[in-house]
């Protein structure tokens, strides 16, 4: 089970949103590079980064910060947020990102996803952000009118190397992940699944470790708010 501490970047700062709402955010003192260094010092190997500026603008606003984190911390980084073309994917891979996460652009244009998987084998992760069974796009502001499971069945043979499943209703709420829906995804997915959204305690991590086809879990707000101690969490990282 891989543990992915989360860093969300907005205006060069670490922030956390509740249910993806930019009007409901908390800013933290540490810079993204300092926060990544803290995770490395505790012994974590993986890191989940979302460029929220990129998600809003479709531009690679924080590429320099991502590169800094990769070079200084040596962590295996997965990066997402507003990645809409092959050139952006190439740049993130060039600075050392292990996985590049596609979301809205891949949901709206399956051919883009297929092309990306073909050009960058084993580098593409797909974010499935769902609300009441339907995929959401554009920073969770739009419902795509596509059922999550139907979409997954359509793209299951494209060559995606990792799925990141987020239940939007749980994100930032610390009420525990939606294990039932995650299991439905994991049962049919041709690649391993990362659980995201709502992690509240070490018990959530222990439960995730018992599930099939689950590669890891992303932990964000529970770390920042002190509900999960890093020393305790890193013991579950393998």
CA dist 129 and 168 (Å) reads: 6
CA angle, residues 145, 164, 220, in degrees to nearest 5: 115
Which of 51, 53, 129, 171 is catalytic? The answer is: 129
**Residue pair 40/76 in contact by the 8 Å Cβ criterion:** no
Which of 8, 51, 171, 237 is catalytic? The answer is: 8
**Residue pair 146/140 in contact by the 8 Å Cβ criterion:** no
Q: Residue 169 pairs with which residues in a beta bridge?
A: none
Q: Is 8 marked active-site?
A: yes
Tokens 């460029």 sit at which residue?
A: 51
119 membership: H or E segment, kind and range: helix 110-119
Question: b/e per residue, 71-94, with b = 16+ CB within 10 A?
Answer: eebebbbbbbbbbbeeebbebbbe
Tokens 């890193």 sit at which residue?
A: 234
54 membership: H or E segment, kind and range: helix 52-57
Torsion 77-81-85-88 (CA) sign: negative
Q: Is 171 marked active-site?
A: no
Active-site residue set: 8, 129
């Amino acid at each position: 089970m891989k543990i992915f501490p989360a860093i969300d970047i907005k205006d060069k700062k670490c922030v956390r949103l509740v249910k993806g709402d930019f009007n409901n955010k908390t800013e933290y003192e540490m810079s993204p590079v300092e926060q990544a260094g803290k995770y490395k010092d505790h012994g974590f190997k993986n890191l989940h980064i979302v460029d929220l500026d990129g998600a809003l603008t479709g531009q690679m606003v924080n590429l320099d910060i991502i590169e800094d984190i990769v070079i200084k911390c040596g962590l295996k980084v997965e990066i997402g947020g507003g990645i809409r073309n092959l050139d952006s994917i190439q740049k993130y891979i060039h600075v050392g990102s292990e996985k590049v996460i596609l979301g809205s652009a891949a949901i709206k244009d399956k051919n883009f996803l297929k092309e990306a998987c073909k050009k960058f084998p084993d580098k593409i992760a797909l974010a499935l952000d769902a609300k009441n069974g339907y995929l959401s796009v554009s920073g969770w502001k739009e419902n795509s009118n596509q059922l999550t499971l139907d979409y997954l069945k359509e793209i299951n043979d494209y060559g995606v190397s990792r799925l990141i499943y987020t239940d939007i209703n749980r994100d930032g709420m610390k009420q525990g992940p939606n294990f039932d829906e995650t299991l439905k995804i994991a049962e049919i997915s041709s690649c391993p699944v990362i659980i995201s959204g709502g992690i509240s305690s070490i018990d959530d991590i222990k439960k995730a470790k018992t599930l099939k086809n689950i590669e890891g879990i992303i932990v964000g707000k529970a770390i920042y708010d002190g509900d999960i101690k890093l020393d305790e969490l890193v013991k579950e990282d393998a």
